[in-house]
Amino acid sequence: MSDSAQRVFVTGLGVISPLGLDVQSTWKAIVSGRSGVDFISAFDTGGFDTTFAAEVKGFEPEAYLERKESRRMDRFAQFAAVAAQEACRHAGIDLADEDPFRVGAIIGSGIGGILTLSQQYDVLRDRGPRRVTPFLIPMMLGDMASAQVSMVTGSMGANYCVVSSCSSGADALGQGWEMIRRGQADVVLAGGSEAPIVPIAVAGFNSLRALSRFNEDPSRASKPFNRDRDGFVMGEGSAVLVLESEEHLVQRGVTPLAELRGYGATSDAHHLTEPNPTGQSAANAIGLALKAATVDVSEVDYLNAHGTSTPLNDWQETKAIKLAMGEEAYRVPISSTKSMTGHLLGAGGALEAALCVKAIQNDVIPPTINLVDPDPECDLDYTPLTARQVKVNVAMSNSFGFGGHNSVLVFTDPGWAG
């Protein structure tokens, strides 16, 4: 890092996930190895090849947001607004006491308000164009999660959505990191949000043959790095992290949770959905993130893998890790928390970033559940079945998306000298 660049710390976390409606309940479920995958309750799955997903359960937006405002938000924006509020409470920051123009909001989403769009298409078809809600457009736009976060928190700095498929949440954090390092903001609320469990999305991913079809037992369907994995499990939710400059958190007198120390991103330039078979571009993203963090591969204590449970992704990610880390790849504990949360698409990288921070705080390596018969081609230490107590000073998170997006984040314990 440049001597003149601001260091960037995480001071608060907010999470809405298939495992819980806050950070603590989600983390408790992760450590215990509990699956959040079950049969879909949001719609009738008759005729669908996949009948399960990782849904957020028990979420009542009016318990957190004003009724009138919550009804003008798509579900993905509701998730983000609530996660951002939790993150601010966790950080102990009252934005009414801040210069609002020095606080940004960057929330990634791959699909945006697809629930509202699909519902209003039904209204158009069944009841005609004049019955379509005037809130269709402001509810379906991808930037409306960041806009709603800005409105519910009062942040008035840069406010935008990052769209890079399944790398969106990670890239939002990377852009927040860059903004603070450049001195453009003191605080950035950064993360991702997604609510894609609707018929058209499930049908579309089924047509791609990307989703698991293990309808016999949904809780065992997400099995990253397992020999018989057959696709990813769609999930929903949001995670928002409060990123703060060192100067600002010292002025506030708060203790950070972790330091966001490095970010790297590359493109495969290869295929719409398949990762580059060489793994080199993803490996380069890992290398760029470690270089930015001034962290050697020998110092990485935990890697949260993208680990989608699709055959191609898990093979190529394993290859990329080996290319980037050499023999150290066999030493570092790795896990895919998607085995429990499913794949939150554009929010996945943000949720997994939050889990990396929790791993550092608690010195715990989350497990990869359902890994009972490892693929011989995936021969690294994927922390099968149960969590592991290990000192974690440095945690890395991989996020790879359709379109060839590769994004990697490096977090460290705030007291780690390196």
**Catalytic residue set:** 166, 306, 343
* Token reading at 364: 């715990």
- Give the three-class secondary structure for 90: helix
H or E segment to which residue 373 belongs: none
- Written as one string, the DSSP assignment of 301-353 is -EEE----S-HHHHHHHHHHHHHHHGGGGGTS-EE-THHHH-B-GGGHHHHHH
Half-sphere exposure of 44 toward its Cβ, with a 13 Å CA cutoff? 2
- Give the three-class secondary structure for 189: strand
Q: 92 Cβ partners below 8 Å, 6+ apart? A: 11, 12, 252, 254
CB atoms within 10 A of CB 131: 10
Q: 32 Cβ partners below 8 Å, 6+ apart? A: 387
Please give the Cα distance from 45 to 52 (Å, whole number). Answer: 8
**Tell me, what DSSP letter sits at residue 146?**
H
Q: 225 Cβ partners below 8 Å, 6+ apart? A: 307, 314, 318, 336, 368, 371, 374, 375, 378, 382
- Give the three-class secondary structure for 262: strand
Among 331, 281, 261, 267, residue whose Cα is nearest residue 301: 331
Please give the Cα distance from 249 to 151 (Å, whole number). Answer: 23
Whether the Cβ atoms of residue 301 and residue 333 lie closer than 8 Å to each other: yes
